[in-house]
Amino acid sequence: MTVAAVDNLIDAPGEWTEEHWWRLELRSLRDAAMVQHAVVLFAPTSARNHEYTRVTPGGVLQSLAYIFYLVSAVIGAAMMLRWVWTGASQWDVPLASAGMFTAVGVGVAVYSIIREHRHPRAASRRARWSLALPHVVPGIVTAGLTLTMAQRALVEGGWIWLLVIVLDVVLAIVIFFQGSSSSAPKTPIDNIRQAVLELPNARRRELLDGIQDGVRRLATHGRISAEEERRALSAPLGFLALTMAPGVQSGFFPYTPAA
């Protein structure tokens, strides 16, 4: 984020409100996307709408990939169930089609595991279950139907697709337990700290200096008090708005700064 863009916010006429602290921090972190993403989960809707509106081709592609990941194994299992419902002919077992859908999900799962290893983040148990169950249950259904009713397909090379389906189940279980490891962040606040730690030291210093320069300008122009300046300058990177304006958080993850 250019210095000019931050200056435009600081120099804008009007009262400096609690929402402005959120906007200042989010705007200052726009070039540190992972930190900004961790912070924006706490931001009020108005600040988020102003400062977190980027849509990138990579982000769209990643979102589509995760949506497909959620449904790929379910589609495969639905194909197998329809096959059973329509007569379970050994000549038209949809195992290959189910396996191909699942294979794309396997690719997304491998990417997710690598990304989580490099950038661990806290996720609720419910969220991890919501990722695992749509693969574990359909995978077991597809594998069970194949082993009990489609042995001919296995003899003719379908075992490869069965392995893909089993691998998808295993990876879903890995993803579930990866998020619950003792070394992973445990809360959304931990996610902010983790995202900041992943930045190079020089980059952390550069971002913090930029934010603190803005705070000093606000004080110089009389838009904040000396006490507000002191508190803002003491805030670690990623915690400016949570320190200065905790009363206007999103409400999803209430956080109260230490006294």
What's the Cα-to-Cα distance from 250 to each of 6, 45, 48, 60, rounded to whole Å? 22, 7, 9, 24
Closest CA to 79 of 145, 168, 167, 172: 145
What pLDDT is recorded for position 155?
81
Question: Percentage of residues in the chain with pLDDT exceeding 90?
Answer: 53
How many CB atoms are closer than 10 A to CB 27? 22
pLDDT band at 92 (very low <50, low <70, confident <90, very high): confident
pLDDT in tens, 214-249: 999 999 988 999 999 999 999 999 999 999 998 877
CA angle 135, 139, 143 (to 5 degrees): 175
pLDDT in tens, 22-75: 999 999 999 899 999 999 999 998 898 888 877 777 778 888 888 999 899 999
pLDDT in tens, 110-138: 998 898 888 888 888 888 899 899 999 99
What pLDDT is recorded for position 223?
92
Contacts of range 123-132, beta carbons closer than 8 Å, 24 or more positions apart: 123/179, 125/180, 127/179, 128/175, 128/176, 128/179, 128/180, 129/176, 131/69, 131/70, 131/172, 131/175, 131/176, 132/172, 132/173, 132/175, 132/176
What pLDDT is recorded for position 73?
93
Average pLDDT, the chain: 88
What's the Cα-to-Cα distance from 254 to each of 45, 117, 247, rounded to whole Å? 14, 27, 9
What pLDDT is recorded for position 1?
47
Structure-block tokens of residue 128: 């991890």
What pLDDT is recorded for position 5?
78
Least confident among 96-105, 147-156, 220-229: 147-156
Whether the full predicted model's pTM is greater than 0.95, yes or no, is no
